[in-house]
Amino acid sequence: MAHSMAHRHETAPSAAPGRVRRARCARHWRGRLAPAVATALLFIASGCAGPSGSNAHGDDDSDTETDDSEGAPEARGDAGPGHVREREQRGAVTGGLRALSDRLEGAAHDTRSSALDERAAIRERAMDPGAPLPDPVRENLASIESDPPPGALTLDSHYWVSNEDHHHMFRETIDSHGGIYLGVGTDQNYLMAAWAESPILLLMDFDEQIRNLHHVYGVVLSRVDSPDAFVAQWSPRGEDEVRDWLRDEYDDEARQAQLLRTFSIARATVFHRLRQIAEDYRERGIPTFVTDQEQYDFIRGLWDAGRVFPIRGDLTGDATMVDIAQTLEDLGLRLGLVYTSNAEQYFSFSPAYRRNISVQPFAQDGLILRTRPMERLGYPEESDYHYNIQDAWNFAAWLEQSDVPNAGALLVHHREPSDRRGLSFVRKDPVVADTPPEIAGEGEAAR
């Protein structure tokens, strides 16, 4: 099982465009309707009067024939036998067509109900982290379109690990949330997804090396059965074995080379980070995927079930976020948690970002989780970040209706402090602008 699972979603960075995915989704549901249409056509072909002269009921009308020698019906003002037969046949065909229409309407209703029932069953299985992910869901999520690689990386660095050390500030709110998870970065996503018991992980970063690192995570998770062993596998003693696993997992030599290079560069940093997480959270008495067997098994199970999708994407880009929204909408799924880390400090609320958030099909209890290195907001003890939670629908409303320029202004002027130092919420209704903010269309490029 381990050998086949970790790269199940492995696709080239330029994944199939969204229109290809949507066409495949449409073919799936057309396939469900085709049998009913074929049945209806056969019914039409066989149910109406044919060349044999039988009426719509299949009765022989030969007994209506009479001898014309008895007199000219036209002269009497009566319809002749031929007209009688024609009226009877028309009436029979009309009745047959009415019956056919009723049967077709019933068949269409049954087919729609069957398709809707199957769609609901697919959604139910998709949201059950313990169930195999349905093929239509896996195929469509695996083909989400990638954004182009960035011209330059933030601070010209690969962020192999998170430098935020207080993600437990979010834990009380997201505990057992159960929503589909979209997040940027690396290790912190597994930490929070395990707490939230998220059934599907969309792990997005505009740095291709971070996408590669997630695939290395997947290989190691699939081969190691305990959290302690997982952390130890990133140590110098486990390095050669992980290299062998990567070679065994990927047949393509170019892909092998990419992942081996990523692992070589990131290994020591990841090892130090995982050990630090384990130490900190043991002291706090909070279970994590690197300290608790149940949480580790949960994350490992998501990888083994093909429920983790590393994607190269940009929160402000024009492809990935729009395609995520369309894919989830097509599948009837809802986005539960969006973790932006501190990415919002590097861009304004541009027309593209406003679009990318507002188009998402958020769950009713959807949440935005963000951090911000701004001391005036307040930090937890021994931290350099503020932690903020906002209802996803509320954030979408702010982006659609308010001219607030960026996340910094939103937090400085509209946050509500909590009873925990370093944690705040944004709950206020948006301050509606006199002139609505500009929002990019789905086909418009970012500016």
State residue 118's pLDDT score.
82
Residue 436 lies in a domain: no
Q: Is residue 236 located within the same domain as residue 104?
A: no
The pLDDT of residue 104:
76
In a domain, residue 439? The reply is: no
Domain annotation covers residue 431: no
Q: Is the pLDDT of residue 24 over 60?
A: no
d(CA 91, CA 84): 11
Residues 68 and 158 in one domain: no
Mean pLDDT for the stretch of residues 285-294 = 98
pLDDT in tens, 54-65: 444 444 444 444
Q: Which range, of 30-39, 239-248, 334-343, averages the lowest pLDDT?
A: 30-39
Q: Say yes or no: 159 and 85 in one domain.
A: no
Does residue 183 sit in the same domain as residue 89? no
In tens, the pLDDT along 397-427 reads: 999 999 999 999 999 999 999 999 999 999 9
| 305 and 351 co-located in one domain | yes
Both 161 and 296 in a single domain?
Answer: yes
- One-letter amino acid at 329 equals E
The whole-number pLDDT of residue 84 equals: 65
- What secondary structure does DSSP assign to 304-360, as a single string? HTT-EEEEE--TT-SSHHHHHHHHHHHHT--EEEEEEETGGGGS---HHHHHHHHTS
Query: 135 lies in a domain?
Result: no
| pLDDT range class, residue 78, cuts 50, 70, 90 | low
Residues 233 and 274 in one domain: yes
**Residues 98, 219: one domain?**
no
The confidence score (pLDDT) of residue 368 equals 98
Gap between the Cα atoms of 147 and 236, Å rounded: 34
**Which pLDDT does position 67 carry in this prediction?**
47
Residue 44 pLDDT > 60: no
Query: Could you give the C-alpha distances from 311 to 217, 296, 387, in angstroms and in order?
Result: 14, 22, 25
State the Cα–Cα distance between residues 353 and 235, nearest whole angstrom.
39
Q: Which domain holds residue 327?
A: 154-426
Q: pTM higher than 0.75 for the full model?
A: yes
Q: What is the pLDDT of residues 173-231, one digit of tens each?
A: 999 999 999 999 999 999 999 999 999 999 999 999 999 999 999 999 999 999 999 99
The answer to whether residues 119 and 160 belong to one domain is no
Q: Tell whether 3 is covered by a domain.
A: no
Non-local CB neighbours of 210 within 8 Å, separated by 6+ positions: 158, 159, 160, 185, 186, 310
Q: What's residue 10's pLDDT?
A: 60
Domain identity same for 187 and 118: no
> For residue 46, is pLDDT > 70?
no
The rounded mean pLDDT for the chain is: 85
- pLDDT greater at residue 52 or residue 136: 136
Burial 409-435 (b: 16+ CB within 10 A, else e): ebbeebbeebeeebbbbbeeebeeeee
pLDDT tens, position by position, 369-408: 999 999 999 999 999 999 999 999 999 999 999 999 999 9
> Which of 253, 186, 192, 236 is closest to 216 using CA atoms?
186
Report the C-alpha gap between 32 and 38 in whole angstroms. Answer: 11
Q: Which one, of 43, 68, 65, lies nearest residue 56 by Cα?
A: 43
Residue 388 placed within a domain:
yes
What is the token pair recorded at 255? 């892909």
Report the range out of 4-13, 89-98, 246-255 with the highest average pLDDT: 246-255
Residue 81 has pLDDT above 80, yes or no: no
Evaluate if residue 35 carries a pLDDT over 90. Answer: no
Q: What is the pLDDT of residue 156?
A: 60
Q: 131 lies in a domain?
A: no
Is there a single domain that holds both residue 278 and residue 376? yes
How many percent of the chain have pLDDT more than 70?
75
Q: What are phi and psi of 426, to 5 degrees?
A: -110, 115
Query: Shortest CA distance to 96 belongs to which of 19, 162, 163, 43?
Result: 43
Please tell me the total count of domains within the chain: 2
**Does residue 142 fall inside a structural domain?**
no
Lowest mean pLDDT among 41-50, 300-309, 329-338: 41-50
Q: In whole angstroms, give the CA distance from residue 290 to residue 109.
A: 51
Structure token pair of residue 39: 């049945």
Report the 10 Å Cβ neighbour count for 41. 11
Look at residue 16 and give its three-state secondary structure.
coil
pLDDT exceeds cutoff 60 at 76 = no
> Cα–Cα distance between 203 and 189 in angstroms, integer?
8
- The answer to whether residues 225 and 345 belong to one domain is yes
DSSP letter string, 344-402: GGGS---HHHHHHHHTS-EEEEEEEEEEE--GGG---TT-S-EEEEEEHHHHHHHHHH-
